[in-house]
Structure 1
Amino acid sequence: MKKVVLTGGSAGIGKEINLFLLRNGYEVLFTFRKSSQSANEIISEFPLAKSYQIDFSNPDEIDDFLKEIQDFKPNILINNFYCGTFIDSYFHKTDPDKFLADFQTNIIPTLQTTQECIKIFRKEKFGRIINILSSSLKNPAMGTSVYNANKAYLLQMSKSWASENVKFGITSNSVSPAFTMTDFHKDMDERQVENILASYPLKNNLEGKDIAEFVELCLNGGSHFNGNHLFLDASNS
């Protein structure tokens, strides 16, 4: 049985991926921070689901989660968690502490989680790492410098994970979805949303199930499907 650690799996894109995996017989340990009602509904419906509430800004909670990963012994990791805002402020108006704070909250825990999983994957000579990034890496919206910098960092890390671990049967791939309307974007101005959608060839937003189908490709694409970064944006230039 394939065992998945999925960070941020109770809402938005993460929830769609979670449900996709569970419906296909995967055992999933997923994290959540606030959406406990959604998490409880998932574990009530799917016996193979296991939720874990965590605040990734708390080092003690991270340590406990890493121990949970050791006990769970996954062979798949999906890095989806992100705590913060998509559109914040112009770069020249952003407090330097904001860059550091968001990096510590989002990137450091992701690196720690991935390190822990890779240790397990290497022992088992098999593993899949999938990173959920953003199509704003290609066409960044104004005011997204903090968010984009963090996603770009993970993209480069993913490439290192791919090259360093492929001989152990481990692959690392990343996907950058087009705009997907979730709670993460709930504070965006309606005109901003309209402008983003108008720029896409299909003129509508991506859905979580579309991203879940890409996840399946990463899971079943074989050992040569490694080090890829794909944009799910209908070839939006």
Structure 2
Amino acid sequence: MNKVVLTGGSSGIGKEINVFLLEKGYEVLFTYCHSAESAKEIEAQFMNAKAFQIDFTSADQMKAFCAEIRAFDPDILINNYYNGTFIDTYFHKTEAEKFLNDFKNNVMPTLQVTQECINLFRKKKLGRIINILSSSLNSPAMGTSVYNSNKAYLLQMSKSWAIENVKFGITCNSVSPSFIPTDFHKNMDERVKETILAGYPLKDNLESKDISNVIDLCINGGKHFNGNHIFLDASHY
């Protein structure tokens, strides 16, 4: 297994995972939307990297990406893409349309990409699905109801992917990192960041290698390593 589809691979956690895999020699087809400069830098540095610009809310672009996936014929799928904010507003102040739009923009594309990959994996009777979620699922911050509901939906869905496909040599595992400052959190109040870090037992942020080591386990852990939800949170929860 050496061909990876990685959604959201040009910034934040996705970029760290991307570089880790590329340095290991994997071929990676990764998506980006706005981080064109970063994506081009990755492609220039690694001959085994292939960037694909996509707006996941566009039906035409989704169709083109699914065709690209079929041509690439991956062995591994890492669902990391998320378009939105971590902290927004309180649940009772959130418009119903906000929940619906974020579901359409995040969950539905992930389901479509995963369906595409599972169909390919089943034919070759081999595959790995890895979902990047969040430790916020266990200890949600105020104002994260939209973000957490989307991640929770994918967690429940991944349990079905694990049980339905394991007999075809396909495993599905989810990874929930604790808070790690990235561009995704650039608009977050610094006091909130300090509060989160103060409550963390190691008093230190996760490093990219911490996440990459677990990704490696999910890929190479064998056919019995399936259906797991791994929290990278120093046993805080």
CA distance in 1, matches of 2:234, 2:111: 30
Offset at residue 59 of structure 1 (A): 1.0
Equivalent residue number for residue 78 of structure 2: 78
Equivalent residue number for residue 21 of structure 2: 21
Equivalent residue number for residue 40 of structure 2: 40
- Which consecutive residues of structure 2, in runs of 5 or more, have no partner in the other structure? none
- 1:141 matched to 2:102: no
Q: Deviations over 1:113-148 (max 9, x none)?
A: 000000000000000000000000000000000000
Equivalent residue number for residue 123 of structure 1: 123
CA distance in 2, matches of 1:185, 1:194: 13
CA distance in 2, matches of 1:64, 1:53: 10
CA distance in 2, matches of 1:209, 1:110: 25
Alignment of 1:57-68 (within 5 A): 57-68=57-68
Q: Deviations over 1:178-211 (max 9, x none)?
A: 0010000000001100000011100111122211
Equivalent residue number for residue 31 of structure 2: 31
Secondary structure of 1:226's partner? coil
The answer as to whether partners of 1:89 and 1:144 remain within 8 angstroms in 2 is yes
The answer as to whether partners of 1:12 and 1:208 remain within 8 angstroms in 2 is no
CA distance in 2, matches of 1:208, 1:20: 9
CA distance in 2, matches of 1:112, 1:118: 10
Give RMSD over aligned pairs: 0.6
CA distance in 1, matches of 2:6, 2:97: 28
The answer as to whether partners of 1:56 and 1:109 remain within 8 angstroms in 2 is yes
Question: Which amino acid counterpart does residue 130 of structure 1 have in structure 2?
Answer: I
Secondary structure of 1:114's partner? helix
Offset at residue 81 of structure 1 (A): 0.3
Q: Aligned residue pairs: how many? A: 237
Question: Which amino acid counterpart does residue 31 of structure 2 have in structure 1?
Answer: T
Q: Deviations over 1:43-82 (max 9, x none)?
A: 0010000000000111110011000001000010000000
Question: Which amino acid counterpart does residue 93 of structure 2 have in structure 1?
Answer: K
CA distance in 2, matches of 1:34, 1:161: 30
Equivalent residue number for residue 9 of structure 2: 9
The answer as to whether partners of 1:42 and 1:49 remain within 8 angstroms in 2 is yes
CA distance in 1, matches of 2:121, 2:152: 24
CA distance in 2, matches of 1:212, 1:38: 19
The answer as to whether partners of 1:33 and 1:53 remain within 8 angstroms in 2 is yes
The answer as to whether partners of 1:5 and 1:77 remain within 8 angstroms in 2 is yes
Offset at residue 14 of structure 1 (A): 0.2
- Which consecutive residues of structure 1, in runs of 5 or more, have no partner in the other structure? none
CA distance in 2, matches of 1:207, 1:181: 10
CA distance in 2, matches of 1:47, 1:194: 39
Secondary structure of 2:118's partner? helix
Q: Deviations over 1:12-38 (max 9, x none)?
A: 000000000000010000000000000
